Amino acid sequence: MPHLPTKTLIVIAGPTATGKTAAAIEVAKHFNTVVVSADSRQFFREMSIGTAKPSAEELSQVKHYFIDSHSITEPFSVGDFERECLVLLDELFKKHDYVVLAGGSGLYIKAICEGFDDLPTADPAIREQLNLELEEKGLNYLQEKLKLADPVYYNQVDLGNPQRIIRALEVFESTGNPISSYRQAAVNKRPFHIIKLALNMPRELLYQRINYRVDIMLQQGLLPEVTSLLPYRHLNALNTVGYSEIFDYIDGNTTLDKAVEMIKQNTRRFAKRQLTWFRKDQQFIWFDAGAPDLIEKMIETVEKTS
């Protein structure tokens, strides 16, 4: 029988502002393929400036999927993404030997590469109560509850993400079992080869790029974008860096300058958490995002390992 070519998923990950979008486009162009986004906020049509979506010019260079694919009014979980994306990849691999999966959302990348845990459905009343506790007592209170309920997951989860903490607590309070007990020991075998590439740069340079990017977002109209989303501020999608801080300013709780400074600080913290997540995965091959021959090195690595 003839040897069938191995289909390969090229993952391009790393912290925010390292140039993943530009790198993914160049790699996709080389392999004559497409880019699938694994950014948990760029799915949403209503959120553009604050999510640093690829520009119209970038989107015109190669076909992108999961950009502007959903509305913030539609519930869209990581489990939904896994199901929809695997169906899409099955179709894409009929036409392409390579597909690029690019983004900074580690959990979404993990869902595609390894599968996501089949978690029990929780009582909606419990989620409502936990959201009330978040509003009245703050995130620290829920963090401490999680620490007592599930110290294993407490040490793994992004503690700055209230939705993940609430999800873990609602599973615990619904079932009496910690969410860590449901997490898969085994990795789901995928019908394609996976190569994981990650970008990084010296911290000082990364923080400069983050600060500059936030300034550009303000120039591009972040404030009007967030203001237009005020009627939807209760939705999970908008409980994120770049939007929460502007809502605080609109509410009169802070000045615009302070809100902008908090966006920069919270984005820098987010980048640190992303780095921690990706470094835990030993399969990632790391590249200096500022190297002049970055794309050549990434392509060479793919060709050697695929």
Rounded distance, CA 222 to CA 49, Å? Answer: 6
CB 9 within 8 A of CB 99: yes
Rounded distance, CA 53 to CA 68, Å? Answer: 9
198: helix, strand or coil = strand
305 annotated ligand-binding residue:
no
DSSP code per residue over 13-74: E-STTS-HHHHHHHHHHHTT--EEE--TTTTBTT--GGGTPPPHHHHHHS-EESSS-B-TTS
18 annotated ligand-binding residue:
yes
Q: How many CA atoms lie within 13 A of 280 on its CB side?
A: 11
21 annotated ligand-binding residue:
yes
CB 242 within 8 A of CB 263: yes
Rounded distance, CA 195 to CA 156, Å? Answer: 24
103 annotated ligand-binding residue:
no
CB 9 within 8 A of CB 89: yes
Strand order in the sheet with 98-102: 64-65, 35-37, 98-102, 8-13, 193-200, 285-288
19 annotated ligand-binding residue:
yes
297: helix, strand or coil = helix
7 annotated ligand-binding residue:
no
- Report the run of H or E that residue 204 belongs to, with start and end: helix 203-220
| Annotated binding-site members for ATP | 14-21
| Annotated binding-site members for substrate | 16-21
| Annotated binding-site members | 14-21
